Amino acid sequence: MAFARAARRPLGVFVYSASRRFSCGNEYSTTVASKFESLSQYKSSVPSGYANPVRGFGNFMRSFSSEAPAVVDQMSLIKQLRQRTSAPIKDVKASLVECNWDIEAAQKDLRKRGKVLASKKSSRTAAEGMLAVAQNEGKVAVIELNCETDFVARNDIFQYLALAMAKRALLVENSSQQVPGVFPFGPELFEELKLNLDHPKVNGETTVSNAATEVAAIMGENVKFRRGFLMSKSSAGVLSAYLHTSPQPGLGRLAGIVSLEVEGGNTQLEAVQRVGSELAMHVVAAKPLFLSKDLVSSEALANEREILKSQAESTAKSQMAVEKMVEGRLRKYFEDVALMEQKFIVNDSINIKTLVDNLSKEVGSPVKVVDFLRVEVGEGIERLEASDEPVAQTA
C-alpha cells in the first residue's frame, strides 16, 4: 500500500525525497559509511599471500581484453580461407576450428569434405553450363561442361575450368585424326586426362574428373563434363567457329563449326575464312541436321514421307495429286534440314549451295563444305522437375 501511494506521488516530490535521504546525515548515510569502513578494514587485513578480490577482477578484465587480437586473427583466417575456397562461411569456420586454426590443414579438410558433398550432388540434373572452344592449326575442340544453374555457369572458376578443358581436348588422340571430320568423345575417354590448372582457387595438376569435383564442392552444385567434339581439317582446309551468347572469348551457349576445303591450295585464304565465319553463324541460327539432301538418312526420309502422305490423303484428292503434294513438300523439308539447300540467313535470296559456288568463283578454285557441327548447352537432357532427386540424362 505504501508503494502504491508512493507511485501516485509526483515525480519531483519522489526525487526530492530520495536526494534528501542521500544527502542528510540520517540512518541510511550512516549505514553506507559503515559499509565502506568495513571494506577498508577487510582490504587491510587480507594477508599478502592471498589474492585481492578487487585486484583479481581487474586482472580478469585485462586478460579478457588481451584475447581480443586473437579473435581478430581468427576472423582474418576465416576471411582468407573463404577467399581461397569460396566455401560457405559456416564450413570454413568449422574446418578451422577442427584443424586448430591451421589454414593449410583446414583448406585440405574443406577439399575432402567438398568431395563428399559433390558426390552427393552428382545425381542431380545439370542442364545449364557452358561450351568452350579451342583451336590450333589443324583442329577445333568444343566441350560441354554442365552445372545446375545459370548463376554458376557465369562464375569465373567454372568458366576457367571449361576453357582449360577445351585446350586439353585439342590433345585428345583418336584413330581418325588423319581423316577430316568430326570425332565425338565422352567422359570415358576424357575424364582421366591430366589438367594443369593455374587459378587462385583451383590449381595444380589433376584429372578432369577431380577438377570438376573440386569446382562442384566450391560451387555447391553438380558440375560435370558431359561431352566433347574434335573437328580436324585437311591441309587445304579452313576451320571456322562461331559462339553465340558469349560472355568472353572461347565461351558460349551455342557453337557452330564449319570445315571448308579449297581445291588446289589456299589461294585467297581471307575470303574463305570470311565466308566460313558466316556459315558457322548460319549453322547456329538455321539448325541444319544434314550436310546435303543426298545425306538425309533413309529413316528420316521415310518418316517424313509417311507424315506428308498422311496429310495429303486427308485432302481427299486423287492419288496422282497426293504424290505431287508429297514431292513438293519434301523439297521444303530438304530446305529445312539440309545445310546446302537452306536459305542463307544473311541474304535469303540465295541458298548455301549458291553462296559456296560464288566463293569458288571469287578465289578461282572449287570450294566445298566438308562438314559442320552445331552444339547447344543442355540439348537432349531431360529435366525431371517433378522429382525430388532428378537424374541427369544425356542424349
Read out DSSP for 289-308? SBSSGGGS-HHHHHHHHHHH
With beta carbons less than 8 A apart as the criterion, state whether 259 and 237 touch.
Answer: yes
In the chain, pLDDT over 70 holds for what percent of residues? 72
> Is the same domain home to 210 and 151?
yes
> Is the same domain home to 153 and 188?
yes
pLDDT on residue 263? 86
> Is the same domain home to 216 and 159?
yes
* 177 found inside a domain: yes
Q: What is the CA radius of gyration of the chain?
A: 38
CA distance 350 to 344: 6
Q: At residue 277, what is the residue type? A: S
> Is the same domain home to 114 and 132?
no
What is the three-state SS of 137-154?
Answer: CCEEEEEEEEECCHHHHC
**Tell me: the pLDDT tens digits for 296-321?**
999 999 999 899 888 888 887 888 88
CA distance 10 to 219: 66
pLDDT on residue 320? 85
For the chain, the domain total comes to 2
> Which residues of the chain are under the pLDDT cut of 50?
1-8, 11-33, 35-37, 39-40, 42-51, 53-69, 176, 384-395
Neighbouring C-beta atoms of residue 338, cutoff 10 Å: 21
> Is the same domain home to 130 and 214?
yes
Cβ neighbors of 252 (< 8 A, separation 6 or more) are 130, 131, 133, 243, 244, 245, 246
Cβ neighbors of 164 (< 8 A, separation 6 or more) are 195, 197, 211
* 130 found inside a domain: yes
> Is the same domain home to 93 and 174?
no
C-alpha cell at 71: 579473435
Q: Which helix (H) or strand (E) holds 242?
A: strand 237-244
Which residues are paired to 140 by β-bridges? 135, 231
> Is the same domain home to 198 and 144?
yes
* 318 found inside a domain: no
For the entire predicted model, the pTM comes to 0.67
**Tell me: the pLDDT tens digits for 42-84?**
444 444 444 454 444 444 444 444 443 377 788 888 888 777 7
According to DSSP, the β-strands at 237-244 and 203-207 are unpaired
Instruction: Write out the residue range of the structural domain in which residue 197 sits.
Output: 123-232
* 102 found inside a domain: yes
Q: Which helix (H) or strand (E) holds 367?
A: strand 367-376
Q: What is the CATH number of the domain that holds 181?
A: 3.30.479.20
